[in-house]
A = this chain, B = another copy of it.
């Protein structure tokens, strides 16, 4: 396991944790939370660091507290596809699996709330509220993966970019408890290369299509890593998705 940047000494309590009501612990009562509180430990990674390599032994599971991490898969010749984008409150790791199936990378500074895997597995059996929340989150992730399949299988480069930005809009709005419409400013925590790995494109194509969306007024650059969406409706329209019953997560 890679070395941590620094090991924080439980700077937070679950009560005041920013992901308390959305993470795997969301439905816990105060007693259950006490147990988690005793088990948890934080690990921090700086942008660019690898959290774990595919195939390595993985003796913990975790919730993303802050920052963004990616799961990636590779073919033998180096072709890379992102298969997971973990934002705050998302769950990392698989109970009852010894080794990591995917390479996990911090794309921004990252804080994880970790649990050793074995005790967590025991907790899953004893604490139905955690197990049922994990099932719910896994089903949500499966839905997200299926939206992603549609994106990779059938959407044009332009639609893919617009879809990714729309997803980030939606997640950001959900996190803040705001409606995902009108004018929004979002943080873009991915490089062109990471976006390309997400979208099944090359970084050149991503760059070109970002330029095109900018020229069409769908997006406006706002500093180094921020983007203004003047009209979320127009962005969603450009994504090719149905405007109403939009995708989940």
Contacts and interface: CB of A to CB of B under 8 A. Distances in A.
Contacts of A83: 146, 149-150
Q: So how many copies of this chain end up in the complex?
A: 2
B200 A153 contact: yes
A83 to B, nearest CB: 4
Given A128-B125, A154-B81, A143 B75 contact: no
A145 B101 CA distance: 13
Nearest to A242: B76
B55 A245 contact: yes
For chain A, the bracket of interface size reads 35 or more
A235 B58 CA distance: 31
A75 B101 CA distance: 31
Contacts of A152: 149, 152-153, 200
A96 B136 contact: yes
A127 B146 CA distance: 28
A209 B124 CA distance: 46
A134 interface: yes
14 contacts: A55-B245, A71-B146, A73-B149, A73-B150, A75-B155, A80-B154, A81-B153, A96-B136, A125-B132, A131-B131, A131-B135, A134-B135, A135-B135, A154-B200
Given A75-B154, A131-B135, 7 more contacts: A73-B146, A75-B241, A81-B150, A81-B153, A101-B146, A135-B135, A149-B149
